[in-house]
Amino acid sequence: MKRQSPSEGNENLELYVRTYYSLLRSTGEVEVRAFEEAHAYSHSSLHSGALAPEPDLAAFAYAAGRLPAEIVETKLLVLGQSHELFEAAGYDVRSWATVKTRGRRRPLRWSAGNGRSPAGASDFPPPVSARDGRDRAPEVAGILGVFIASASDIDDLVPIVTAFQMEWNKMHLLLAPGARELTDTQVPLDTERVATLLGLDESGLNRLRSAFASREAFEVGVRAIATAPKKLRMRMLASSHSQYQRAAQRWWSGIEPHYVRHVERPDSAPRSRPKLPSAVRPPVYFVSSNTHAIGNLVGGFAQTERDAILNWAEKDDPEGLGEAVRLARKSGDEAEILPLVHYLLRGYIHEDRTGERRRKVRAYEAASGFSSVSEPGNIDVDAQLIELSRIDPTHVDPRLRVPGLERLRDSEAVLINIDYPLGMGAYHLLSRLGQGVGEIRGVYVMGKAATLNGRVGDVMLSGTVFDEHSKNTFLFKNAFHAGDIGRFLRYGSVFDNQRALTVRSAFLQNKEYMGQFYHDGYTVLEMEAGPFLSSVYELVDPNRVPTDEIVHLSNRVPFDLGIVHYASDTPYSRRQSLLSKSLSFFGVDSTYACALAIVRRIFEMEVARIDADSRLDGY
């Protein structure tokens, strides 16, 4: 196996990373334009038009979807790891508005006004790049506070912001001849004039619209682009590895009270395992996936509301699925009906503005042994805890009814499912969870990935992972095979025995660099497997994870280990441009097929364990 990382195309990427980390070490503010040259010459696959005079709308839409709508008014982005760091620098983020993005789960706070606490309003000088021989007060209106949980947040955010500004400014120059009429808010926005000035056809104009969350946001955004160029600044507050660990500790502190109460064993448990005292922490099956698939499959709330959900869908036709619902009900085929019920549940809940349906879900889950923890420790990685002994076999998805499922009433184990973290956040969170739980019986990761040779909706199973963070090649025995998932997959294909590449950021890759990995058989591009495997190594070995080595985990891990990826992007496909195809309902097929395989694996292993203990009781 080759151990030398590809060099072609990598030098420019490494230069880009060194550029923004060295500049962000400054205690002051840095103009984002300082990153633009290194960004452009990294030749990122996600920003292939960076050096072209024409706008790269795919890159702009990708970046805009991962920034809040308030980025249109933002002048300064401040990156910090905790409220304390923000407040020590004079930023009163606790009083700022919470804002969200469409494509990234990251805690964000927004201040349209002063943004500083009174005591800190004049503590910092303007950035060096903003001085022209005269000191002047810093511009403090329009500040976006960004909470970072790992280095991956920096690697993700900097290229996104840089690409956004570069493409904004290209469009500003092109819209300049029509700026007067386009910025006149007293008349409707002339979209034909916008398209003409930008040189867009109808599909190009639609792509520009997709960069904004609504028609109103589109009009506000285009007028803002026509009004002025973007001159964003960025500041990072005293970032340190220990602060990442503290953030992980805060996250676990929010989950731990829900976990430690799950220790009482049922009276029906086998005599070979005496009842645990309340201070002991129960065994854990850890899953990183999302917070809807496993909850829907195991909890069964969607099943209890099935008719109400389907009736609502036929009546309101959400996402144009009304006809599909009618045909599925007419066929009576559960394989057609269940995916629709699961997918539509979220819309059904959010459609109720009274909040009653949401409260009903929470009450149902609590009665079924579920605990949901939202943004523990101000880390935007939600968690679900499920007591296996309280699962009702009659309520679970029929495809999960493994032989002996009723024996789970004797289980002591807890399933902890977290909303997948970003990049190195996976390492910090699993490491902290591993320190706080009892026996770990399984670690399972379900994530999105780009595929170099498949299609959107396919599923890939890897046994080799190259991690760009540690430069390690991890070899492990994947708990899943193609047949485990293929039995539940209706539209896509399953490929096992694959090789995955863990990248630092979606932007930090280019065609030359990826082409060399593809030549070596790496076909899966993702961001979490390497950090998770680094954490697994440290859970089973007394040493810290090495660097630039082959790390063989197959015979060293005492618990079950499975990693599955479903394809959400095909970056080099001629049939599908990057991110042009939304998973939406189509994505439910692969997502739920993966979730079904994971939960079935957990159920089968736990039932077998209980049966083995019962046989010991017979002696």
φ/ψ bin of 481: left (φ > 0), alpha (ψ from -120 to 50), beta (otherwise)? beta
Cα 141 from Cα 170, distance rounded (Å): 24
The residue with greater pLDDT, 123 or 398, is 398
Work out the pLDDT band at 344, boundaries 50, 70, 90: confident
The residue with greater pLDDT, 242 or 67, is 67
pLDDT at position 77 over 70: yes
Confidence (pLDDT) at 615 = 77
Kindly give, in sequence order, each residue whose CB lies less than 8 Å from that of residue 133, ignoring residues fewer than 6 positions away: none
- The CATH number of 241-264+281-300+368-617 is which of 3.40.50.720, 3.90.79.10, 3.40.50.1580, 3.40.50.300? 3.40.50.1580
Confidence (pLDDT) at 276 = 52
Q: Which residues on neighbouring strands pair with residue 143, listed in sequence order?
A: 76, 111
Token pair belonging to 449: 């990935």
Which residue ranges make up each domain of the chain? Answer: 10-236, 241-264+281-300+368-617, 301-367
Query: Do β-strands 414-419 and 383-387 pair in parallel, antiparallel, or remain unpaired?
Result: antiparallel
Lowest mean pLDDT among 2-6, 203-207, 308-312, 524-528: 2-6
| Coil, helix or strand at residue 502 | strand
Confidence (pLDDT) at 369 = 82
Cα 522 from Cα 227, distance rounded (Å): 45
Token pair belonging to 578: 């990057």
Cα 113 from Cα 100, distance rounded (Å): 18
Q: CB count, 10 Å around CB of 345?
A: 21
Instruction: Give pLDDT tens digits for 11-53.
Output: 899 999 999 999 999 999 999 999 999 999 999 999 999 999 9
Confidence (pLDDT) at 226 = 96
Lowest mean pLDDT among 132-141, 274-283, 463-472, 531-540: 132-141
The residue with greater pLDDT, 346 or 437, is 437
Lowest mean pLDDT among 133-147, 226-240, 285-299, 445-459: 133-147
Residue carrying the six token digits 């024409």: 54
Instruction: Give pLDDT tens digits for 234-248.
Output: 999 987 888 889 989
The residue with greater pLDDT, 22 or 4, is 22
- Pick the most confident of 8-12, 38-42, 613-617: 38-42
Q: Cβ distance 142 to 131 under 8 Å?
A: no
Quickly list DSSP for 250-281.
Answer: HHHHHHHHHHHTTTPPPTTS-TTSPPPPTTSP
Confidence (pLDDT) at 368 = 81
Lowest mean pLDDT among 84-93, 98-107, 128-137, 334-343: 128-137
Cα 594 from Cα 602, distance rounded (Å): 13
Work out the pLDDT band at 178, boundaries 50, 70, 90: very high
Kindly give, in sequence order, each residue whose CB lies less than 8 Å from that of residue 307, ignoring residues fewer than 6 positions away: none
Token pair belonging to 52: 């072209």
Across 46-62, average pLDDT = 95
Report DSSP state, residue 66. T
Token pair belonging to 363: 């009450």
Instruction: Give pLDDT tens digits for 215-235.
Output: 999 999 999 999 999 999 999
Confidence (pLDDT) at 339 = 81
Instruction: Give pLDDT tens digits for 263-311.
Output: 455 555 555 555 555 557 999 999 999 888 898 899 888 888 889 999 9
Kindly give, in sequence order, each residue whose CB lies less than 8 Å from that of residue 186, ignoring residues fewer than 6 positions away: none
Q: CB count, 10 Å around CB of 558?
A: 10
Lowest mean pLDDT among 125-129, 348-352, 458-462: 125-129
